Amino acid sequence: MAGTLEFSPDDRYNAFITTCRQAPFADGPLAGTAVAVKDNISTAGIQTTCGSRILEGYIPPYDAYVVELLRSSGAAIVGKTNMDEFGMGSTTETSAFGPTRNPVDPGRVPGGSSGGSAAAVAAGLVPMALGTDTGGSIRCPAAFCGIVGLKPTYGRVSRYGLIAYANSLEQIGPMARTVEDVSRLMSVIAKYDPRDSTMLDRPYDHRPSAEIKGLQVGVPEEYFGEGVDPRVAETVKNAIGVLEDLGATTVPVSIPGMRYALAAYYVICTSEASSNLARFDGVRYGPAVDTRKSWHEAYQDLRLELFGPEVRRRIMLGTFALSAGYAGRYYAKAQVARRNIQQDFERAFREVDIIAGPTMPTVAFRLGEKTDPLSMYLSDILTVPANLAGIPSISVPCGRVDGLPVGLQLMGRQFEDERVVDAAYAYEQGVRA
Ligand code: GLN
């Protein structure tokens, strides 16, 4: 079924930065399926900006491996989706191309940083999309927009061609309206690639099964504590009750290292970002900035002009955390906290197969509601632990509070992405029945 696909979306939510001319598509498991791709994933011949002015006009000369796989699966790449600048944010408001709006309520944010991908799927413009998740950027917008999103196990999907924000934390992953479609897209993108040296050869090729009898589900107290809206907590507890009705057993577990998760995450991600983003000098791409100064001063001026305030804040934080005399106090300590969290999860997963909790502590915020960076960072508390531990985690819609979607988060052991998909599928089918 080779052909072309018409795609002229009514992009009233500002979900796309670029929409593409229709390339002919090949035969394959996704033949003729329109797929949207987050704008930090390289697409040959199609502008890729990371939501930043510093990369405006950048047209990659090569495809990311996941994009190669999409093309050969017959998918049509119909556009590049809006995102927080370089993935730094939880609302898509830090994009240089204007915020994306939440299709469920356009006065609210779609979540971030893959907010454009989530909005495009939720608005029905595409059935599936790729996002990336460094500290929640697939799961947060999936939860806020009422769709499904999977952050795969670290090392399961190639990062070749992903423009890096924080390499040790991030993965590309699938977003869609159903668990089945998330699993289909995952089956296309999760293939071994020697160009990503952090990969393990564990391809994903799975049809979800709703059979979860005997599944042991851990419920960590830390996921229902301070800062979590009680109505969100209750909605998620009811969803866990559905898993019990389907034959799962719940067990209380504890992740004590959660206390330091957010601090560790923000030291590690800003440190990696400060080093990754040093390469952008605004000379080849981005709007021309007139400067006749010395190179040192020009580099400062260009980066001041072309990076947004959140990106500059993180470069400064990360550069400080890594600087001589401080690295032991911040970066090394953060690595210890990270190891503790990994061990907490390992311990819990000796007893249980899945860990369940809310994806986000609240429902979607109003546009412009979060003005100080700290309160924005705090909203990532329930998603960053899975990135620090490298484990798979899915968000599946599980009800509404004030008419706004709530996400149930299901985490699993490393390389047991199939099991978290099955648990989400069982839940989804269970509530539909
Ligand atoms: N909100 C988190 C951050 O700003 C997560 C972002 C992401 O996963 N890319 O770092």
| Domain parsing of the chain, residue ranges | 11-189
Strands 393-401 and 128-133: unpaired
Ligand 1 centroid, distance to 360 Cα (angstroms): 13
Q: How far apart are CA 428 and CA 399, in angstroms?
A: 11
Ligand 1 centroid, distance to 133 Cα (angstroms): 7
Instruction: Cite the active site residues.
Output: 38, 113, 137
Q: What is the DSSP letter of 91?
A: S
pLDDT at res. 9:
81
Helix (H, G, I), strand (E, B) or coil at 132: strand
pTM: 0.97
Atom from ligand 1 closest to the CA of residue 133 = 8
**Vertex 77, ends 33 and 95: CA angle to 5°?**
125
Nearest CA to ligand 1 atom 10: 88
Task: Using 50 as the pLDDT threshold, list the residues of the chain that sit under it.
Answer: 1-2
Among candidates 394, 399, 404, which has minimal Cα distance to 424?
394
pLDDT at res. 326:
84
Ligand 1 centroid, distance to 217 Cα (angstroms): 27
Atom from ligand 1 closest to the CA of residue 377 = 1
Q: Are 76 and 128 in contact (CB under 8 A)?
A: no
pLDDT at res. 327:
82
Mutate to test the pocket of ligand 1, among 370, 380, 388 (most ligand atoms within 8 A of CB): 380
Ligand 1 centroid, distance to 159 Cα (angstroms): 16
Atom from ligand 1 closest to the CA of residue 88 = 4
CATH assignment, 11-189: 3.90.1300.10
pLDDT at res. 2:
47
Buried/exposed 231-247: b ≥16 CB within 10 Å, e otherwise: ebbebbbebbebbeebe
Ligand 1 centroid, distance to 131 Cα (angstroms): 12
**Vertex 415, ends 215 and 263: CA angle to 5°?**
95
Mutate to test the pocket of ligand 1, among 92, 109, 113 (most ligand atoms within 8 A of CB): 113
- Cis check for the bond before 158: say yes or no (omega within 30 of 0): no
Atom from ligand 1 closest to the CA of residue 137 = 8
Ligand 1 centroid, distance to 216 Cα (angstroms): 30
pLDDT at res. 432:
82
Helix (H, G, I), strand (E, B) or coil at 267: helix
pLDDT at res. 284:
84
Q: Are 216 and 353 in contact (CB under 8 A)?
A: yes
Mutate to test the pocket of ligand 1, among 93, 138, 268, 269 (most ligand atoms within 8 A of CB): 269
Q: Which residues line ligand 1 (CB under 6 A)?
A: 87-90, 113, 133-137, 165, 269, 380
Question: What Rg do the C-alpha atoms of the chain give, in angstroms?
Answer: 20
Half-sphere CA count of 322, side-chain side, radius 13 A: 16
pLDDT at res. 235:
98
Mutate to test the pocket of ligand 1, among 140, 170, 175, 265 (most ligand atoms within 8 A of CB): 140
Ligand 1 centroid, distance to 197 Cα (angstroms): 23
pLDDT at res. 3:
56
pLDDT at res. 1:
42
Q: How far apart are CA 340 and CA 255, in angstroms?
A: 9
The encoded tokens of residue 185 equal: 């897209």
Nearest CA to ligand 1 atom 5: 135
pLDDT at res. 287:
80
Buried/exposed 113-145: b ≥16 CB within 10 Å, e otherwise: bbbbbbbbbbbebbbbbbbbbbbbbbbbbbbbb
How many Cβ atoms from other residues are within 10 Å of residue 163's Cβ?
Answer: 24
